[in-house]
Chains A and B, each alone.
Chain A
Amino acid sequence: AQKVTQAQTEISVVEKEDVTLDCVYETRDTTYYLFWYKQPPSGELVFLIRRNSFDEQNEISGRYSWNFQKSTSSFNFTITASQVVDSAVYFCALSEETSGSRLTFGEGTQLTVNP
C-alpha cells in the first residue's frame, strides 16, 4: 500500500528565509510518480511538479527546488528567499504505476511567510 507522510503540520518563517518542506513516502512499486501541489488561501490546488521514480535528478524552478532521494524515500521541497505569496498549504502526493494514476496525498504542510 502506498503512503505519504508530511511530518511538518505547520511552518512559520519570516520573509526571505529559506524553508524546506519534508515528504517521505512508502511504496512497493518500482515505478511510481511523486507530486507537489500548492493550495493557496483561495482554495484551489495548483500543480507544481511531477517526478518519476527513475529520475533522481534534483530540479530547480526559480525559487523552488526539489530533492528526490530514493535511498531515504524522500521528496523534499525547498523555497529559497520565501515571500508572503508563498503562504499556502503544500501537499506531497504519490501515484503508483499499478494504481492507474490514483493519488495518495500527505496530510499537507501549512506554510506561513510573515513580512
Chain B
Amino acid sequence: DADVTQTPRNRITKTGKRIMLECSQTKGHDRMYWYRQDPGLGLRLIYYSFDVKDINKGEISDGYSVSRQAQAKFSLSLESAIPNQTALYFCATSGSGLADITSTDTQYFGPGTRLTVL
C-alpha cells in the first residue's frame, strides 16, 4: 500500500461549488503539506502543518483552507471553486517517521489529485 494517499484522484466540479481534497499518510511523519502544480510554474506551496495544532499559510493560500484532523490526515478545501484553481494538487509529508528516521526534511509526495473547475 502507498505511504501517502490522496482522494479523489480526479475531480471535475463547477464554479462556486465547495470541494475537499483529502490526504492520508502511514509514514508516521509529523509534517504535512499541500502544493498545486500548474504547467510551467513548478509546484507552489498552499498550506503546511508541522503538527496537529499547527497550520501555516504558504505562498498561494488565498481561496483555500485546510484542516489537520489527525497526525495522519490533512485535508484541503476550496470553499467556492473557480476555474483558475484547475490544477494538479499534491500532498506531501516529512519528518522523523517512526520507521525512517533518516527522512527528516525530505518530502514524500502522494499521487496527486487532478482537479478541473468548469
In whole angstroms, what is the CA distance A15 to B16 when docked?
A: 47
**Interface residues on chain A, size class:** 20 to 34
A91-B42, A105-B43 known; A43 vs B111 contact (CB < 8 Å): yes
Interface assignment of A100: CB less than 8 Å from any CB of chain B: yes
Which residue in A43, A101, A104 is a CB contact (below 8 Å) of B31? A101
A101, B42: Cβ atoms under 8 Å?
A: no
A44-B111, A47-B106, A50-B106 known; A102 vs B45 contact (CB < 8 Å): yes
User: DSSP class of B's interface residues: helix, strand, loop or mixed?
Assistant: strand
Specify the chain B residue showing the minimal Cβ separation from A44. Answer: B111
How many chain B residues have a CB neighbour from A under 8 Å? 25
Interface assignment of A81: CB less than 8 Å from any CB of chain B: no
Interface assignment of A107: CB less than 8 Å from any CB of chain B: yes
A43-B112, A107-B41 known; A102 vs B48 contact (CB < 8 Å): yes
Interface assignment of A33: CB less than 8 Å from any CB of chain B: yes
A103, B88: Cβ atoms under 8 Å?
A: no
B94, A101: Cβ atoms under 8 Å?
A: yes
Interface assignment of B107: CB less than 8 Å from any CB of chain A: yes
In the complex, what's the smallest C-beta–C-beta distance from A53 to chain B, in angstroms? 12
Specify the chain A residue showing the minimal Cβ separation from B43. Answer: A105
Q: Interface of A with B (CB < 8 Å)?
A: 4, 9, 33, 35, 37, 43-45, 47, 50, 91, 95, 100-108
15 more A-B residue pairs beyond the given contacts A45-B112, A47-B106, A101-B31, with a C-beta to C-beta distance below 8 A: A33-B105, A43-B114, A44-B109, A44-B110, A44-B111, A44-B112, A47-B108, A50-B106, A91-B42, A102-B33, A102-B45, A103-B43, A103-B45, A105-B43, A106-B42
